[in-house]
Structure 1
Amino acid sequence: MKHHISWKVSLLTAMVSAAFSVSAAVVPENARLAEVQKLVRGNDAEVATLDPANAEGLPEMHVLRDLFEGLVIQDKDGNVIPGVAKSWSTEDNKTFTFYLREDAKWSNGDPVTAHDFVYSIKRAADPSFASANGWYLKLTKIKNIQSIIDGKASLDSLGVRALDNHTLQYELENQVPYFVAMTAHSSMMPVHKEALAEYVDKWTRPGNMVSNGAFTLENWVINERIELIRNQQYWDNDNTVLNQVTYIPFESQTAAMNRFATGEVDITSDVPTAMAPKLKKEQPESYTVVPLLCTYYYAFNTTKAPLMIRVFARRCLIRSCGMLLQTVLLR
């Protein structure tokens, strides 16, 4: 199945090659930078959480990729590139060793170490934490992670260890050639152990959060805005162009488009379908369509009428879904 999502980019954003992606900006040689390096992004909705281990939706991912950085990240073309890990190695696709940057730091100046990653993955896998991304972590095939999440094995048996402060090793149960790419997911990002211990369930609030990405959390007004400022401790800060990123949640595509049209928003991630042809024709420099790799599923309640009592209704539903799938695949 193919699904497309539209991104609208203002001239300001295009000029600065803004770091709204998950890698540092590469400014074209002849580019003229805006005097104020501030980006305002329309987000699809209010974020449900800023805890990487529990984030599930795109609104959360947009913000978290600015705040936190995993072992690897992605460039603007979706290629896996070094993040906190400057390199990695494996001989059998079952044991992966990551070599961390010595200059990677948290926003409070503490060094980012392999122990941070061990703590964070164990926290996410802990059944008492009940991460919303437990299903994803099971797919990594890290040794014993499924049994741990299911409460059948101890956290100490998890196949991850810090060989030293800057060397991290994962042991998998099966060969997973794409494991390195999987470490870019938010559930495998590091969190600051001391900040969580001090602030407990309030650690994601402004003033409490300690992050290791290109930006830090400055302000968060629920259903109004999230403001991030440049993280001066970030290892690649010299190549960060923006000084501030503001996320504004929009439940309505039309509202987001109107704010973009008036210049209040520099970029938004979706537009009303009916407006797409007009935008493509009248604003080709600002309208871009990119593919989004994703999976959709629908769960039907078979415990209530008519699906519970009418076999015919269930058969019709199955046939309709089959016809829809064939239509999509033939496109």
Structure 2
Amino acid sequence: MQSLDPHKIEGVPESNVSRDLFEGLLISDVEGHPSPGVAEKWENKDFKVWTFHLRENAKWSDGTPVTAHDFVYSWQRLADPNTASPYASYLQYGHIANIDDIIAGKKPATDLGVKALDDHTFEVTLSEPVPYFYKLLVHPSVSPVPKSAVEKFGDKWTQPANIVTNGAYKLKNWVVNERIVLERNPQYWDNDKTVINQVTYLPISSEVTDVNRYRSGEIDMTYNNMPIELFQKLKKEIPNEVRVDPYLCTYYYEINNQKSAV
């Protein structure tokens, strides 16, 4: 895991940890549908000008309010070529005004089509109507980042002693290539519904090792895809513990066309 900065991560493992630490305008519910996050409601004008109303009780882990200004800063930072975010182009999918010119270096990031109408009202202007725009906002790259911490600590702002988060959890410990430990964030607006007080992420790359450590009681759940050769066996042996959940993803197949057909 290379980073916990929402604007620098690009892998699935990092994204999953990021969702525990940071919450964007919208989140995904258990069925994968977009649901209110920091924004409790939103409306749009002809699918081109979108207005998001932020919860007044949304806070950072240091107790300061999460505001529309945080989203303006964060989205401008994401778009800024100086950030070198692997997901800067994600804002192009939403056709946010001026994003193409900003990424090309023709306009400053401050020209991005985002505005704080007040502390709790965030307005986004698109270059063309995008009916599905709100659905894009569950992605971790458009989560807010704390301006004060980023500017004070630079690249080290995600270290446990420096990081400030607005999600259900905050960072307790991070030993690179060994473990990441998160603990409950009491400042989170929906903290009453958080049922797990501490989460530990372990870098287990082997699917078989993942299952073996689960069955030995070392871990509480597996992370990797279940080995196909073990799936039916485990369904019979521990049917109440094997779950198949919906997952939105894209699989790529690389075809070797240099060999003759089998």
Q: TM-score, normalised by structure 2?
A: 0.94
The structure 1 residue matched to 2:216, chosen from 259, 262, 268, is 262
Contact persistence 1:137–1:187 (CA under 8 A):
no
Structure with more contact order per residue of length (Cα contacts < 8 Å, sep ≥ 6): 1
Larger Rg, first or second structure (1 or 2): 1
- Work out the number of aligned pairs and report it: 261
Does residue 92 (structure 1) correspond to residue 16 (structure 2)? The answer is: no
CA distance in 2, matches of 1:318, 1:103: 61
Measured after TM superposition, the shift of residue 156 of structure 1 is 2.3
Match of 2:229 in 1: 274
Match of 1:64 in 2: 18
Match of 2:107 in 1: 153
State the SS of the aligned residue for 2:83.
coil
Any unmatched runs of 5+ in structure 1?
Answer: 1-46, 301-313, 324-331
Match of 2:122 in 1: 168
The structure 2 residue matched to 1:111, chosen from 65, 76, 80, is 65
Measured after TM superposition, the shift of residue 317 of structure 1 is 4.8
CA distance in 2, matches of 1:124, 1:317: 41
Match of 1:292 in 2: 247
Contact persistence 1:104–1:234 (CA under 8 A):
yes
State the SS of the aligned residue for 1:219.
strand
The structure 1 residue matched to 2:164, chosen from 206, 210, 228, is 210
Any unmatched runs of 5+ in structure 2?
Answer: none
State the SS of the aligned residue for 1:264.
coil
CA distance in 2, matches of 1:196, 1:74: 26
The CA RMSD measured in Å over matched residues stands at 1.9
Partner deviation per Cα, 1:220-270 (whole Å, 9 max, x = no partner): 111111100110111111221111111111011111111100111111122
Q: Structure 1 residues 299, 134: closer, same or farther in 2, change over 3 A?
A: farther
Identical residues among aligned pairs (%): 52
Measured after TM superposition, the shift of residue 50 of structure 1 is 0.4
Contact persistence 1:94–1:171 (CA under 8 A):
yes
Measured after TM superposition, the shift of residue 75 of structure 1 is 1.0
Contact persistence 1:94–1:175 (CA under 8 A):
yes
The structure 2 residue matched to 1:245, chosen from 154, 174, 199, is 199
CA distance in 1, matches of 2:79, 2:226: 37
State the SS of the aligned residue for 1:181.
helix
State the SS of the aligned residue for 1:87.
strand
CA distance in 1, matches of 2:247, 2:185: 29
Partner deviation per Cα, 1:100-122 (whole Å, 9 max, x = no partner): 01111100011100000000000
Partner deviation per Cα, 1:271-320 (whole Å, 9 max, x = no partner): 222111111221111112234322244679xxxxxxxxxxxxx9x45997
CA distance in 1, matches of 2:40, 2:194: 18
The structure 2 residue matched to 1:191, chosen from 125, 132, 145, is 145
